[in-house]
């Protein structure tokens, strides 16, 4: 149900739409469980890098593998994002948005790239991956795992925030109508965050949890 706006929330310059949905009174396990569910359901995110002279640049990327809180992507070594990552490896982000539920997640972290000799390329490569590389017909640039253009991008989060819907579409409408009628603030979901210490622990305990 919508919650009434309080004077102290205004006077303290608090954003009530954030404060009233804040939900960090759940276990770390529950926070990561719901985060993994959002990311795994979508499988595609926006990878953001910092491009000098331009600023943040994002592009859609399919997740090749998630191991605990860490994400792995298969990418073309000739892409400009590798140059951007090399210059600013600690200024990367990935974001998720589910247009059906409005669930979203934002991940800020560090980036590590690998060369074509990384054995994980063969593990995560699929025939569908090859169409994004093409086959030159020279026996080298084949779009297969041995193709020298094949490289990995790994994202190791340092901060994660996400919002998870807790009502149906009808319930969301009810929250909105109720808020407009009463002057309250809707509370249709839970807003949570995980900082670096929690993420490091999840990296140890959830390493076997992959998708």
Q: Please report the pLDDT score of residue 177 as a whole number.
A: 58
The pairs formed by 121-128 with CB atoms below 8 angstroms and a separation of 24 or more are: 121/74, 121/145, 121/150, 121/151, 121/152, 123/65, 124/64, 124/65, 124/72, 124/74, 125/74, 125/150
pLDDT tens track of the chain, all 211 residues?
Answer: 666 656 666 666 667 666 767 888 899 999 999 999 999 999 999 999 999 999 999 999 999 999 999 999 999 999 999 999 999 999 999 999 999 999 999 999 999 999 889 999 999 999 989 999 999 999 999 999 999 999 999 999 999 999 998 766 665 656 555 655 666 666 668 999 999 999 999 999 988 777 7
Going from the N-terminus, what domains does the chain have, and what CATH number goes with each? Answer: 7-204 (2.30.110.10)
Dihedral over Cα of 50, 51, 54, 57: its sign: negative
Q: What is the pLDDT, as a whole number, of residue 211?
A: 77
Q: What is the pTM of this model?
A: 0.86
């Amino acid at each position: 149900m919508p919650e009434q706006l309080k004077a102290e929330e205004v006077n303290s310059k608090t954003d009530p739409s954030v404060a009233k949905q804040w939900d960090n009174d759940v276990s770390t396990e529950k926070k990561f469980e719901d985060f993994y569910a959002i990311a795994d359901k979508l499988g595609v995110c926006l990878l953001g890098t910092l491009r000098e002279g331009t600023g943040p640049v994002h592009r859609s990327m399919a997740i090749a593998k998630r191991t605990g809180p860490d994400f792995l992507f298969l990418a073309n070594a000739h892409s400009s994002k590798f140059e951007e990552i090399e210059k600013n490896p600690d200024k990367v982000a990935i974001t998720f948005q589910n247009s059906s539920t409005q669930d979203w997640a934002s991940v800020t972290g560090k980036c590590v790239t690998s060369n074509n000799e990384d054995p994980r390329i063969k593990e995560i490569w699929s025939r569908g991956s090859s169409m994004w590389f093409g086959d030159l017909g020279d026996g080298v640039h084949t779009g297969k795992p041995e193709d020298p253009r094949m490289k990995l991008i790994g994202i190791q989060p340092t901060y994660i925030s996400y919002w998870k819907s807790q009502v149906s579409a009808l319930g969301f409408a009810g929250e909105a109508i109720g808020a407009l009628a009463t002057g309250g603030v809707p509370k249709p979901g839970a807003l949570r965050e995980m900082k670096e210490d929690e993420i490091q622990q999840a990296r140890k305990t959830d390493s076997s949890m992959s998708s």
